[in-house]
Amino acid sequence: MSAPLLRVRELTKHFPIGKRGMFSDQRKILRAVDGVSFDLERGQTLGVVGESGCGKSTTARAIIGLHPATSGSVQLDGVELTSLSRSEWLPYRRRIQMIFQDPYASLDPRQTVSSILTEPLTIHKLAKPKERKLRAMALLDAVGLNPRHIDRYPHEFSGGQRQRIGIARALALEPELLLLDEPVSALDVSIQAQIVNLLGELQERFNLAYLFIAHDLAVVRHLCDEVCVMYLGRVVEQAPRDELFESPQHPYTKALLSAVPHPNPHIERTRERIVLTGDVPSPLDPPSGCTFHPRCAHASEVPDDRCARECPALVTSEGRSAACHLP
C-alpha cells in the first residue's frame, strides 16, 4: 500500500510560558499538543473535535509549520516536513493550504479580491501574468461568487462571501490537502449550510483531503469520514464517523456528544444527558494520570486509582481507538 497523503506521528508542540532567569529557568511548559498521531488519505476528511484549548488548532498550525513542532513527525506523501528549511517549505505550501475561522480577519482589507487571489500564483510563479486574473475569476466562479466582483475589496462582501474568498484563495494553488480551522463557526446557520455544501462539492471535484477542525459536532458529523476527539492536547478517541457518533467509547466523547443540544424539541427534552461538572483543567498544570479523570463519572470504577496514576495509552482495535482504562 502506498503511504497516506498525510501521516502525523507523535506530534508534540510545547510552549514555554514565563521568564527565563539568568541562573534559573522558571518557565512552565504548556503542552498544547502532546503526542498526536493520525493518517489522512486523499479525498478523505478527518474531523478534529474538542473544546477550546484542547490543541486542535495548534495541531493544524504545527502541520503547516506556522508553529514549528517540538517533536514528532509530519509526512506529506512520505516526505518529512518538520525538518524542512524555509525555502524547502515553499513547494509543500502549495500542496497544503489553510482556511481560517474569521473571514473578517483573514483577508487583507487593503487588497482587492483580484490581488488576494493572484498573489499566491505570483509567489509560486504559476500561470503567466496575463492569465492570472482569468484564473482568479475562474476560482471565484468555482466558489459561487460573481467573477465580475473581482476588483472589489473584502469589506464589500458579507461574512459568508468572505469565507468563499478565503476558500478560493486556498484553492488557487491547487492543493491536495486543506486544513480547515473552524471554517463555518463565525457564520449564520443558513450561510453555514451553504459553505458546508460548497466544501463537499469542491472536495469531490478536486479530490481534496480535508483536516476539518471544529467544535460543532453536528457539522463534523455531516462532513467527515473519520473523527478524532482531543482533550488537553491528546487524542482520546478516534473512529470512523458513524461508529464514533453511534457508539462512542471514551467517557469524554460520550459527554461531549450528549452536551450538544438537538434541534428537535421532542428529542431534546426526553434524551438522557451527561452534564460534566467543572471546567477543562489548565494545560499548564494538567491532572495526573488520565487528564480527564477529575471530570469523569467512571474514574471510580477502575480499581487501584489507576485513572489518577497512569495515563492510558491509545489502544487500537477493529479500526477504532480509544485511550481509557475502562474495559
Among 29, 90, 105, 260, binds other proteins (CB under 8 A): 260
Residue closer to other proteins, measured from CB, 53 or 72: 53
Q: List all residues 6 or more positions away from 133 whose beta carbon is below 8 Å from its beta carbon.
A: 114, 118, 150
Listed ranges 16-24, 67-75, 91-99, 220-228: which one lies at the site for other proteins (CB under 8 A): 220-228
Q: Which amino acid is at 250?
A: H
Listed ranges 56-64, 71-79, 102-110, 191-199: which one lies at the site for other proteins (CB under 8 A): 191-199
Our finding on whether 263 is near other proteins (CB under 8 A) is yes
Please list every residue from 84 through 123 that binds other proteins, using CB under 8 A.
none
Please list every residue from 46 through 65 that binds other proteins, using CB under 8 A.
51-52
Our finding on whether 259 is near other proteins (CB under 8 A) is yes
Tell me how far apart the terminal alpha carbons of the chain are, to the nearest angstrom: 33
Integer Cα distance of 87 and 64 in angstroms: 14
Contact 199, 180 (CB under 8 A): yes
Cα dihedral 226, 231, 236, 240 in deg (nearest 10):
-10
Among 2, 24, 85, 264, binds other proteins (CB under 8 A): 264
Integer Cα distance of 195 and 174 in angstroms: 19
Our finding on whether 228 is near other proteins (CB under 8 A) is no
Contact 233, 51 (CB under 8 A): no
Number of residues that bind other proteins (CB under 8 A): 47
Shortest Cβ 265–other proteins spacing (Å): 4
Residue closer to other proteins, measured from CB, 262 or 309: 262
In order, the DSSP letters of 15-35 are: EEES-B-SS-B--EEEEEEEE
Integer Cα distance of 113 and 123 in angstroms: 16
In order, the DSSP letters of 47-72 are: EEE--TTSSHHHHHHHHTTSS--SEE
Among 221, 254, 298, 320, binds other proteins (CB under 8 A): 221
Listed ranges 62-70, 107-115, 158-166, 301-309: which one lies at the site for other proteins (CB under 8 A): 158-166
Residue closer to other proteins, measured from CB, 88 or 268: 268
Residue closer to other proteins, measured from CB, 8 or 255: 255
Our finding on whether 143 is near other proteins (CB under 8 A) is no
Set of cell numbers at residue 140? 471565484
Q: How far is the CA of 217 from the CAs of 176, 242, 254, 260, in angstroms?
A: 24, 12, 12, 8
Shortest Cβ 303–other proteins spacing (Å): 27
Listed ranges 99-107, 204-212, 217-225, 232-240: which one lies at the site for other proteins (CB under 8 A): 217-225
The packing angle between helices 129-142 and 113-123, to 10°, is 120
Residue closer to other proteins, measured from CB, 123 or 267: 267
Among 4, 120, 154, 160, binds other proteins (CB under 8 A): 160
- State which H helix or E strand residue 235 sits in: strand 234-240
Residue closer to other proteins, measured from CB, 4 or 47: 47
Where on the chain is the footprint of other proteins (CB under 8 A)?
51-52, 158-161, 188-194, 196-197, 200, 215, 217-219, 221-223, 241-242, 245, 255-269, 273, 275-277, 279-280
